[in-house]
Amino acid sequence: MRKYILLIIVAILCSTISVDAKLTAMRGKVKDSYNFWFFEPDFKTKSHVNPEVIDTTTATSDSLSAEEIIAREMMNENIVATDSTANVDSVSNLKPLVIFLHGRSLCGNDLNKVLRYGTIDAVQGGRKIDAYIIAPQNPGTFWNPDKIMSIVDWVTERYAVDTNRIYVLGMSLGGYGTIDLTAAYPDRIAAAMALCGGGSAKDLSGLNQVPLWIIHGTADRAVSVNESRKVKNLMKSAGETPLLRYDEWAGVNHGALARLFYLNSTYEWLFKHTLNNRAVDKSVSITQADTKSAYKGFKHRSSSKGKSAKNKKKSSKKKTKKSSKKKSKK
């Protein structure tokens, strides 16, 4: 009787699965790794504006009954079956996976900081990226490739991820992380884009196996363009570099490259590649001029700018009031 009831629960859960875009805060989900945001695309409409945000801090397995845990596990197995016995519909639902690595300014233990800029911020503001997205938070050191890949493993085991289409991009400290992760796992990364970063790993020879686009501004005072040049030279010393696209943008500073996370062409270029197609794509163009229109039609970014402007006015008013009060006291 109990088994019969459990099967009914599973049937109900499977029939009411939400396929809308969803953004979930994953804290302590992967042992000895980073906390991370996980974005699930909308399988129905592919519209990723204002995804449902879920915080999993209170939704842990400890608060579930044994029946609920089993039911969820059975439900997950039904959703993500992607082996040779999977039907055509489940295979067609496989989605690419994008890994976004932030810079030093977003490091810490407040996961909400990771939403300030980057790929997750882009989908929240209206950019349509038809992929799963992982956005881990670094506590404040160099990115650890093994920790990042443990998150990837956790996600691919539970969701319908196309493992032939896993991509990574990041800037500044995240640029270093992109280079190090790609060099450590060239057999798993389909393509990578490193912005205004460098590389901290001793062996970067694996980069020569992966389509890689490095972009750095010559006016960058936070991370010198020489850091990207070092990566390029180390790749050349390891052999031929036919899969490398390397651009130095004259007069461009550090923060300007953050705009690339909001360009459709950035993800278009990444998605041109798979593990089965290692030739680097050169048809997609991204220039300095393109970054000027990166926020065009981006509601979230414009509204946040408006709020910040209002907050500045409020703070300035408060300061003037305080100063006037001090003068009157004197």
Residue tagged 């695309």 (tokens) = 41
d(CA 247, CA 206): 20
Structure tokens at 109: 């233990």
Q: How sure is the predictor about 244, in pLDDT bands with cuts at 50, 70 and 90? A: very high
pLDDT exceeds cutoff 80 at 256: yes
Q: Name the domain count of the chain.
A: 1
Minimal CA–CA distance to 129: which of 62, 204, 63, 39? 39
Owning domain of residue 151 = 2-297
pLDDT exceeds cutoff 50 at 13: no
**315 is a domain residue:** no
SS3 assignment, position 81: coil
**193 is a domain residue:** yes
**17 is a domain residue:** yes
**316 is a domain residue:** no
**311 is a domain residue:** no
Residues in the chain: 330
User: Parallel, antiparallel, or unpaired: how do β-strands 212-217 and 161-171 relate?
Assistant: unpaired
**318 is a domain residue:** no
What phi and psi, each to the nearest 5 degrees, are found at residue 55?
A: -105, 120
Residue tagged 């990115």 (tokens) = 143
Higher pLDDT, 50 or 88: 50
d(CA 217, CA 227): 11
Give 188's Cβ-side CA count (13 Å radius).
19
**322 is a domain residue:** no
pLDDT exceeds cutoff 70 at 232: yes
For 316-329, the pLDDT digits (tens) are 455 555 555 444 44
Decide: 260 and 286 in contact? Cβ < 8 Å. Answer: yes
Proportion of the chain above pLDDT 90, given as a percent: 67
For 15-32, the pLDDT digits (tens) are 333 347 899 999 999 999
pLDDT exceeds cutoff 90 at 4: no
Q: How sure is the predictor about 93, in pLDDT bands with cuts at 50, 70 and 90? A: confident
d(CA 34, CA 36): 6
Query: Residue 34 belongs to a domain with what CATH number?
Result: 3.40.50.1820
**305 is a domain residue:** no
What's residue 5's pLDDT? 54
Q: What is the mean pLDDT of residues 58-84?
A: 35
Of the listed ranges 24-33, 83-92, 231-240, the one predicted with least confidence:
83-92
Of the listed ranges 45-49, 152-156, 215-219, 235-239, the one predicted with least confidence:
45-49
What's residue 9's pLDDT? 47
The whole-chain average pLDDT of the chain stands at 81
Of the listed ranges 69-78, 160-169, 223-232, 252-261, the one predicted with least confidence:
69-78
